[in-house]
């Protein structure tokens, strides 16, 4: 705790929000290479949850790296800070009773573990969007792999910057050879029971 910072004990607690909403907020943390399917699956899953009546919010590169984190680049230290801030923001959303879906590469195990610790293990669901780099590169949704191979993007994850594979993800989605609908079905089956 920082010196002279004394948090106020507000009257409405998380348990009050849970009772009112009728579901448990969670942080659903998608991790995987660029092009693995994080945004596609987080978005499809959010639509499903939203239509089922859950309060949801997605944090992803576009809405975070262009605003809150626009001072950060793709050096290791910036990626660490990126994930630290996202975990802190997610914690606030979870405390507000929202089901949060994050879609960041989040390449380092220690940072994902820190996010888990911050919101509490019971509130954190790590989803490994497991797609071989060859498949991501073939998809090349944004043309970034071609640029990285051409030496135009330094420190590109999977090429000259590491991705530390999750060892014990809560949910493991293998997207190669699987349709978005099939992957979504797996997410629904494995995660929705945890929100009850
Ligand atoms: N050097 C480098 N390495 C990886 N990715 C890069 C890089 N430069 C730009 N991009 C684009 O930024 C998106 C990844 O941002 P993240 O905030 O998710 O990255 S990280 O978690 O901090 O590692 C990533 O988006 P996704 O494709 O959605 O993963 C890329 O579009
Ligand atoms: N089973 C699947 N799950 C998710 N995406 C898939 C799947 N099969 C093919 N794709 C395609 O792969 C691409 C993934 O891109 P995107 O969601 O932007 O990845 P990321 O957010 O991880 O960078 C999309 O074009 C999507 O349609």
Residue whose C-alpha is closest to residue 67's, from 78, 82, 46: 82
Spatial separation of the C-alpha atoms in residues 105 and 126, rounded to whole Å: 12
Instruction: Confirm whether 75 is a catalytic residue.
Output: no
Pocket of ligand 1 (CB under 6 A): 34-35, 39, 61, 65, 74, 79, 82-83, 104-107, 142, 144, 153, 155-157, 161
Spatial separation of the C-alpha atoms in residues 44 and 42, rounded to whole Å: 6
Q: Is 177 annotated as a binding residue?
A: no
pTM reported for the whole predicted model = 0.98
pLDDT in single tens digits along all 196 residues of the chain: 589 999 999 999 999 999 999 999 999 999 999 999 999 999 999 999 999 999 999 999 878 999 999 999 999 999 999 999 999 999 999 999 999 999 999 999 999 999 999 999 999 999 999 999 999 999 999 999 999 999 999 999 999 999 999 999 999 999 999 999 999 999 999 999 999 8
- Catalytic one among 43, 66, 78, 106? 106
Q: How many residues does the chain have?
A: 196
User: What's the pLDDT at 2?
Assistant: 80
HSE toward the beta carbon, residue 98, CA cutoff 13 A: 14
Instruction: List, in order of start, the domains of the chain with CATH numbers.
Output: 23-195 (3.40.50.300)
Q: Is 173 in the pocket of ligand 2 (CB under 6 A)?
A: no
Burial class (CB in 10 A: 0-12, 13-18, 19+), 70: exposed
User: ipTM, 2 decimals?
Assistant: 0.99
* Rounded alpha-carbon distances, angstroms, from residue 103 to 4, 19, 22, 120: 35, 28, 25, 19
* Ordered alpha helix ranges (H), 22-60: 38-51
Spatial separation of the C-alpha atoms in residues 54 and 23, rounded to whole Å: 8
Q: Is 77 annotated as a binding residue?
A: no
Residue 161 three-state SS: strand
Tokens of 138: 């073939």
């Amino acid at each position: 705790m920082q010196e002279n910072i004394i948090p106020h004990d507000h009257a409405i607690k998380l348990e009050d929000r849970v009772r009112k909403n009728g579901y448990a907020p969670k942080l659903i943390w998608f991790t995987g290479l660029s092009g693995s399917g994080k945004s596609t699956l987080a978005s499809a899953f959010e639509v499903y949850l939203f239509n089922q009546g859950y309060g949801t919010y997605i944090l992803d590169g576009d809405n975070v790296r262009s605003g809150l984190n626009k001072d950060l680049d793709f050096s290791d230290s910036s990626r660490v800070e990126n994930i630290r801030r996202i975990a802190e923001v997610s914690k606030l959303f979870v405390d507000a009773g929202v089901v949060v879906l994050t879609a960041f590469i989040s390449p380092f195990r220690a940072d994902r573990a820190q996010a888990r610790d911050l919101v509490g293990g019971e509130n954190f669901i790590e989803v490994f969007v497991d797609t071989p780099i060859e498949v991501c590169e073939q998809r090349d949704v944004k043309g970034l792999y071609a640029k990285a191979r051409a030496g135009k993007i330094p420190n590109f994850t999977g090429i000259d910057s590491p991705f530390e594979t999750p060892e014990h993800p809560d949910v493991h989605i293998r997207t190669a050879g699987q349709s978005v609908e099939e992957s979504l079905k797996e997410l629904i089956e494995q995660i929705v029971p945890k929100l009850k």
